[in-house]
């Protein structure tokens, strides 16, 4: 009696292996590539990574995104976009890479997706960091040069959605959010809302997710009684300091509708002291994010945000102490001057 022979993976149909691999997520697909040469060839199929990239970030499947990433290496894009930024300093390998000295807003693009209860409710693509043209291009007018100068020196804030007429007519959300109660509270937003903001460097073909995925803070938005402000934060290492990328989403609760209305989505950069950064420095910080270490461990991401807040609070405490000390010195100086003047006046009377 002959023993049955075991089939080798190489004997299986390639389409069957590809069909099995298409049902895996990114981590499982990467692990599969490390098992043997046969599965490695299957896992290197760009069609698998393209399908996975589109399903993970629905904004990448929009027509506006096709011209930006159609010729990209989707496996590399997924590896860049899935992990989030860490608070650590860049590795030795990345320290040798110096960011460009000339940074243009038109070199970047934003791919943004908002989720609620694991359902993508908003997707949008924004080509360029700002609507202003690059002043370094030829045949630019004086008004364009003035706009560029204003952008470089003014506080940076990028609006993805700003309650404009075109946003109301074509808001961008694809599915309604289930409305289960009289109103949403901050806890529900914290537990159910997720946001991904993938920043794409079109010139180098690199990507980075500057969002924290989970909300860092949810609060009511004054003066709108029915609005909530949801904040997503990430810490970007800049030399020996940390900068904070702050993404804010303002939602309005509508009792007559089945879903909250997205009113505003914006991003800005803050320093350790909580000061807004201008456009020129923001471009440098965002470019540094492409070379920063990342991690898929959400706990490590939270540690980075906590470290940023601790250092920020310590700096604020020191500044407050210095200001109080300066106030006391000024007060003592004024008292000393007053006493000297009084003594001089008394001596003159005598």
Tens digits of residue pLDDT in 105-138 = 888 999 999 998 888 889 999 988 765 444 444 4
User: 72-76, 227-231, 305-309, 318-322: which has the minimum mean pLDDT?
Assistant: 305-309
- pTM metric for this prediction: 0.78
Q: In terms of pLDDT, which residue wins out, 242 or 95?
A: 242
Strands (E), the chain: 84-85, 108-116, 119-127, 158-162, 193-201, 206-209, 217-220, 227-238, 241-252, 261-270, 294-295
pLDDT of residue 236: 86
pLDDT at 196: 94
C-alpha 211: how far from its chain's center? 3
Return the higher-pLDDT residue of 260 and 149. Answer: 149
Find the angle CA(306)-CA(188)-CA(116) to the nearest 5 degrees. 95
Burial 313-337 (b: 16+ CB within 10 A, else e): eeeeeeeeeeeeeeeeeeeeeeeee
- Judged by DSSP in three states, 196 sits in strand
d(CA 42, CA 20): 10
* Nearest in space to 85 (alpha carbons), one of 297, 309, 310, 312: 297
Which pLDDT value is given to residue 246? 92
Give the per-residue pLDDT at 133. Answer: 42
93-114 mean pLDDT: 74
* 249 band by pLDDT with thresholds 50, 70 and 90: very high
Q: Which of 46-55, 99-108, 164-173 has the lowest mean pLDDT?
A: 164-173
pLDDT over 90 (residue 86): no
Rounded Cα distance, 162 and 5, in Å: 65
Q: Determine the average pLDDT of the residues in 193-198.
A: 92
Is pLDDT above 70 for 140?
A: no
């Amino acid at each position: 009696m002959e023993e049955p022979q075991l089939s080798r993976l190489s004997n299986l149909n390639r389409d069957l292996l590809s069909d099995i691999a298409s049902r895996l997520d990114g981590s499982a697909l990467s692990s599969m590539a490390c098992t043997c040469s046969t599965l490695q060839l299957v896992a290197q199929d760009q069609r698998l990574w393209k399908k996975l990239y589109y399903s993970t970030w629905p904004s990448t499947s929009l027509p506006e995104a096709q011209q930006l990433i159609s010729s990209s290496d989707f496996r590399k894009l997924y590896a860049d976009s899935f992990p989030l930024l860490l608070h650590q300093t860049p590795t030795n390998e990345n320290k040798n890479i110096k960011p460009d000295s000339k940074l243009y807003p038109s070199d970047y693009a934003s791919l943004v997706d908002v989720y609620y209860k694991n359902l993508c409710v908003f997707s949008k693509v924004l080509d360029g960091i700002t609507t202003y043209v690059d002043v370094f291009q030829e045949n630019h007018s004086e008004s364009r040069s003035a706009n560029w100068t204003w952008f470089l020196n003014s506080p940076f804030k990028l609006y993805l959605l700003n309650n404009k007429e075109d946003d109301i007519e074509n808001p961008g959300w694809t599915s309604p959010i289930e409305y289960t109660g009289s109103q949403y509270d901050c806890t529900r937003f914290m537990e159910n809302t997720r946001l991904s903001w993938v920043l794409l460097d079109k010139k180098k073909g690199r990507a980075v997710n500057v969002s924290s995925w989970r909300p860092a803070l949810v609060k009511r938005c004054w003066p709108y009684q029915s609005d909530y402000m949801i904040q997503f934060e990430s810490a970007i290492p800049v030399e020996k300091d940390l900068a904070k990328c702050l993404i804010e989403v303002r939602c309005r609760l509508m009792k007559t509708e089945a879903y909250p209305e997205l009113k505003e989505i914006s991003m800005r950069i803050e320093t350790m002291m909580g000061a807004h950064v201008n456009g020129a420095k923001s471009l440098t910080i965002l470019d540094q994010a492409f070379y920063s270490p990342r991690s898929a461990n959400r706990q490590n991401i939270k540690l980075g945000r906590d470290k940023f807040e601790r250092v920020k609070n310590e700096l604020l405490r020191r500044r407050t102490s210095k200001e109080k000390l300066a106030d006391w010195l000024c007060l003592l100086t004024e008292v000393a001057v007053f006493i000297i003047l009084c003594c001089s006046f008394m001596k003159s009377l005598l």
